Amino acid sequence: MIEKLSYQDAQLLLEKHQVFVMPAEVHGVISGLLSCGLDIESKEYLALLSDVFNEGQSFSGELKTFLSSMYTHVSSQLNDKELQFELYLPEEEETLSDQANAVIAWISGFLLGFGLKQKDYGRLSADVKEVIQDFTEISKLDTHFDETDEDVQALYEIVEYVRISTLLCFAELGEKQVTTAAENKTIH
């Protein structure tokens, strides 16, 4: 469903159900949950998302379907050996400032999702700690961009850094959950 739904339509769907956050932030939370090691087979993510975005109330069927689809999509992209993971952001026709605000919302969502399940920061590798620190700094950036080629390039580089850093976190923490889930399903 997420592949068929434009960013703007996703925003309208969330608003229709009184969830007033950017789709980028929702995608970021799911990415953070999976990147810190949430069991991919777990249905716990719906309860976590409901706590974060819907005051603990269950989501309607339509919204639950959308969120489940997004979860499956993010999980699939993070597990893709071709590194096809992409941040869910507004289309390039939107202003750079709108795109930058969505990137900041995505990063804030990632940090929130990561923090919901990753309680032992002392055990994180230096690389993952650096990603979390960098994401925290990036989330404070001024999102006013001029429509110059330099600003387009700067935003592209930020998005690419965030994308690769998310894959690094997933490779270190999240992928272990995929392997464990697969091993648990194997009958010996």
Average pLDDT over residues 170-185: 62
pLDDT at 176: 58
* CA dihedral of 118, 48, 181, 173, whole degrees rounded to 10: -20
4: how many CB neighbours lie within 10 A of its CB? 7
Q: Is the dihedral of CA 173, 179, 185, 188 positive or negative?
A: negative
Give 105-132 pLDDT, tens digit per residue: 999 999 999 998 887 778 889 999 999 9
Least confident of 109-113, 131-135, 152-156, 171-175: 171-175
What's the CATH number for 7-185?
1.20.120.740
**pLDDT(100) > 90:** yes
**pTM, full prediction:** 0.89
Long-range pairs, 123-131, Cβ under 8 A, ≥24: 124/173, 125/172, 127/168, 127/172, 128/168, 128/169, 128/172, 128/173, 131/165, 131/168, 131/169
pLDDT at 188: 41
